[in-house]
Amino acid sequence: LDSLGLAAAIEWQMKEFEERSGIPCQTDLPDEPLNLGREPSTALFRILQESLTNVVRHAAATAVETSLHMQHGQILLRIKDNGRGLPAARLEDPHSVGLAGMRERALLLGGRCEISGRPGEGTTIEVRLPLPATVQGAGEL
């Protein structure tokens, strides 16, 4: 993560996940390195890891899609699976430490983490963090 950057780390993580779990993964990542800084990169990578852990433990998914883009002064990470989905009660369950941790990581950096899912339709985790001033405007969609 520190030496290759966030996009390369995500690509590596997704390949490792696919090999370990047997779940096909599709990634959509920027071609150029993103210099987001250590804290945002680490937070996004840890949220990805927690999401993938949840896919293996709970989702019964057969596919995972991940994308990372700069958009409107923010960095957007999206992880989507086609698994069981989450009932609404589980989304707000205070005992769901992993989900709460993802939201907290984003909040600490001035962003947000939205988790949505419907039973039988999979789960989507969307994280938006403000881009550092040094990155603003570069390569945005």
- Is the model's pLDDT at 56 over the cut of 60? yes
pLDDT tens-place string over residues 87-128: 766 666 666 788 889 999 999 999 999 999 888 899 999 999
Predicted local distance difference test score (pLDDT) of residue 141: 44
CB atoms under 10 Å from CB of 1, counted, come to 16
Q: What is the share, in percent, of the chain residues with pLDDT greater than 70?
A: 89
Least confident residue range of 16-25, 30-39, 49-58: 30-39
Look at 138 and 42; give whichever has higher pLDDT.
42
In the DSSP assignment, the letter for residue 32 is S
- Is the model's pLDDT at 52 over the cut of 90? yes
**Region 69-75: what's the mean pLDDT?**
91
Q: Given CA atoms 43, 49, 54, 55 in this order, what sign does their dihedral have?
A: positive
- Do 14 and 25 form a contact (C-beta atoms < 8 A)? yes
Q: Please state the pTM of the whole predicted model.
A: 0.89
Q: Give the chain's mean pLDDT.
A: 88
